[in-house]
Amino acid sequence: MASSTLICETQPWKDLKSHFEDIKKTHLRELLSDTDRCKSMVVDFDGITLDYSRQRATPGTMDKLYNLAEVNFEWFLFFWNFCCQRTAASQTTMCGTQLISRKRLIACSMGSIPLLLEQKINSTENRSVLHVALRAPRDAVMQSDGKNVVPDVWNVLDKIKDFSERIRNGSWVGATGKALTDVISVGIGGSFLGPLFVHTALQTDPEASKCATGRQLRFLANVDPIDVARNIAGLKPETTLVVVVSKTFTTAETMLNARTLRAWISKELGPSAVAKHMVAVSTNLTLVEKFGIDPNNAFAFWDWVGGRYSVCSAVGVLPLSLQYGFTVVDKFLKGASSIDQHFYSAPFEKNLPVLLGLLSVWNVSFFGYPARWSYNLFYYSFRPSYLILKPWRNLHRTSSRQTYLSSNFPFPFSIKYVSMESNGKGVSIDGKPLPFETGEIDFGEPGTNGQHSFYQLIHQGRVIPCDFIGVVKSQQPVYLEGEVVNNHDELMSNFFAQPDALAYGKTPEELQKENVQQHLVAHKTFSGNRPSLSLLLSSLDAYKIGQLLAIYEHRVAVQGFIWGINSFDQWGVELGKSLATQVRKQLHASRVKGEPVEGFNFSTTTMLTKYLKVCGNTRKLGSSSQSSNYSSSDITLFHDLEVSALLYNFLES
């Protein structure tokens, strides 16, 4: 398909539209009665089982979705000759180009195919997309601008391994000679959410937990001084190492937080201690050195690593290795790499990320479901289906991702970032407005928490497709004598029950047979026919965590491929940041110089004026006794000093 053709203009899309008119009349009760259909919708790979039989789809639906995928993957035909060779007959496309037949067509992801790494796939930012190179084997070849980037990746990994081992074994100590046992990782967006998810999931893994004995890892992202206070509470500068994560070393929130922690360290240990207590993940060595960090203690990552795909770079690997050791983190990288290989070598019908991506397109662009939710046994992840980012449409698509694993509660937050920033687009990669829905709002909660909060909406309110994610073996098994089942079995009982409740529902006739009072029948009726899919992992260790993350990364890329959008830029975040700069300047001018609020619309002017009036319009830094007298145990400074003053005066003086 030519890049100028929208996917909705193709014959496979039109075929699906026609097919949808038939499918929408069919209830999941009927679909689930077909055993052969259900068997065809269970896929196993490397300890992971996907069951998507509770989707409102038939084998015929899937064939049509494969055809749709083939059409848009043709847009990336120049990749195929560099993919793994498959023993399948080729066919001639409409362009006259040879393409592997659909049954053996290799699923392609932006960032997964070797040749892709040489292309500026992120065309609007003129960048390559190579995040899979971050977890590639040492002997792999992945090129960008004619250079194999894998050796550079491993040079950084080796440096992280050496540094983290020295910190952990005490050969690198702080300014007072004490071991650095506590780490604060300062970053935002991808520098925070991905690493936080992996860290939280590893905390209760027996192997990883043992490796982390006596150590603490905390993440600071939000610029709110309360978050700074929470992060340093109970910590001492002399045993704390701060990792500042910013590619350019100019990210406003990150650098303000970094300067705040630098002040905390300097006040207690002196300015010279910064070199021993702060390291950087950045490409801007000039600003790193100017900040006071030794450039030798800066860990590189590259322009071809998007923030939301950066957890496998030094962004995540450094703080995680400091906490758990490089050996554990290496298993995480290997898990992600295994899914990379699976993604571009498995046929569509056996390919986990491709199946997830196609089903998501089916639910969003054809059924128009309002949300998607995720139910995790290790955590609940909700994915409010799909957000339509077109101002002329007052619709929202939401999806839910439920994880039944309490240890993984940040997974929904990490994946919603990857998904919503990647596919929250309203135009094609060529800049054409899209006449169909794309993007999805992700949300989730761990374990049975969601059942006691928002499941009411999912069961009897809006239809929200759900992802249920569970594990066979608990990280922390508990067996209580006399209980009917153990704790994990209790959790998993809900994992297995909820998809059926959503699919089958409960009819008025069934309620009447149970002698439910007539006036309550309508209230207790469940319509059912609410789609979901289930992912069952054999365990939840570092390897499986890497696999889970990579599955959802590639799922997002599949969606973007089908919709014909650029899943790797994020222009939507820029306008608000730009306007915040104007507000920041106004706050500084009002607080320091007493200038009135000017240059904003009525609403913003009113709210800003109110804000300044209530908290005190003008204050010279230093007028508060707290501004010049604080210690590691007295953090009220961070509540009292204005952000603007911190930015413009104190911390840079």
SS3 at position 330: helix
Q: What is the 3-state secondary structure (H, E, C) of 398-433?
A: EEEEEEEEHHHCCHHHHHHHHHHHHHCCCECCCCCE
- Nearest one of 217, 194, 69, 48 to 135, comparing CA atoms: 194
CA distance 110 to 557: 6
Distance linking the first and last C-alpha atoms of the chain? 58
CA distance 561 to 565: 7
List 21, 25, 39, 452, catalytic entry: 452
SS3 at position 390: coil
CA distance 467 to 376: 8
Q: Are 381 and 395 in contact (CB under 8 A)?
A: no
Q: Are 400 and 373 in contact (CB under 8 A)?
A: yes
425 in catalytic set: no
Backbone angles phi, psi at 277, to 5 degrees: -120, 0
CA distance 460 to 480: 35
CA distance 197 to 452: 23
Q: Are 423 and 440 in contact (CB under 8 A)?
A: yes
Within 8 A by CB and 6+ apart from 178, the residues are 238, 239
Per-residue CA distances from 418 to 120, 390, 441, 553 (Å): 20, 20, 11, 7
What are the structure tokens assigned to 370, written together? Answer: 């309002």
CA distance 646 to 597: 20
Backbone angles phi, psi at 301, to 5 degrees: -140, 180
Rounded to 5°, the CA angle 194-411-381 comes to: 150
Count other Cβ atoms within 10 Å, centred on residue 387.
Answer: 25
Per-residue CA distances from 32 to 13, 467, 494, 509 (Å): 25, 17, 19, 20
SS3 at position 449: helix
452 in catalytic set: yes
Where on the phi/psi map is residue 126: left (φ > 0), alpha (ψ -120 to 50), or beta? left
Tokens 């413009």 correspond to what residue?
Answer: 648
List 24, 577, 585, 610, catalytic entry: 577
577 in catalytic set: yes
- Nearest one of 460, 461, 468, 413 to 441, comparing CA atoms: 413
Q: Please, which residues bridge with residue 526 across strands? A: 506
CA distance 358 to 43: 15
Per-residue CA distances from 31 to 2, 18, 24, 128, 373 (Å): 36, 19, 12, 43, 22
List 74, 268, 421, 553, catalytic entry: 421
- Nearest one of 342, 367, 268 to 108, comparing CA atoms: 342
β-pairing verdict for 373-376 and 42-45: unpaired
CA distance 413 to 424: 15
- Which H or E element spans position 582? helix 574-593
Q: Hey, which residues are catalytic here?
A: 421, 452, 577
